Amino acid sequence: MPLSLAQMRRNYTLDGLPDATAPDDPLLLFRQWMQQARDTEQAPVEANSMCLATVDAQGRPHCRVLLLKGFSEAGFTFFGHYQSAKGQDLAANPHAAMTFFWPGLERQVRIEGPVCRLDPQLSDAYFDSRSMASRLGAWASPQSQPLADRAQLEALLAQTVERFAEQSPPRPEQWGGYCLQPERLEFWQGRADRLHDRLDYRLHDGVWTHGRLAP
Ligand SMILES: Cc1cc2nc3c(=O)[nH]c(=O)nc-3n(C[C@H](O)[C@H](O)[C@H](O)COP(=O)(O)O)c2cc1C
Report pLDDT for 167.
92
* Ligand 1 proximity of 55 Cβ (cutoff 6 Å): no
Question: Best substitution site from 51, 65, 69 to test ligand 1's pocket, by max atoms within 8 Å of Cβ?
Answer: 65
- Note down the domain range covering 178: 5-212
- Among protein residues, the one with the nearest Cα to ligand 1's atom 30 is 65
Q: What is the DSSP string of the chain?
A: -PPPGGG------S----GGG--SSHHHHHHHHHHHHHHHPPTT--TTEEEEEEE-TTS-EEEEEEE--EEETTEEEEEEETTSHHHHHHHH--EEEEEEEEGGGTEEEEEEEEEEEPPHHHHHHHHHHS-HHHHHHHHH--TTS--S-HHHHHHHHHHHHHHTSSSPPPPPTTEEEEEE--SEEEEEE--GGG--EEEEEEEETTEEEEEE---
Q: What is the pLDDT of residue 41?
A: 82
88 lines ligand 1 (CB under 6 A): no
pLDDT tens digit sequence for 53-89: 999 999 999 999 999 999 999 999 999 999 999 999 9
> Average pLDDT over the chain, rounded to whole?
95
pLDDT at 21: 85
pLDDT in tens, 26-56: 999 999 999 999 999 887 789 999 999 999 9
Q: Which of 67, 115, 127, 145 to mutate to test the pocket of ligand 1 (most atoms within 8 A of CB)?
A: 67
In the structure, what pLDDT confidence band is assigned to residue 171 with cuts at 50, 70 and 90?
Answer: very high
Number of folded domains that form the chain: 1
Q: Identify the CATH number of the domain in which residue 64 sits.
A: 2.30.110.10
Q: What is the pLDDT of residue 1?
A: 67
Centroid of ligand 1 to alpha carbon of 177 (angstroms): 13
Question: What pLDDT does 126 receive?
Answer: 98
**Ligand 1 atom closest to Cα of residue 144:** 25
Report pTM.
0.94
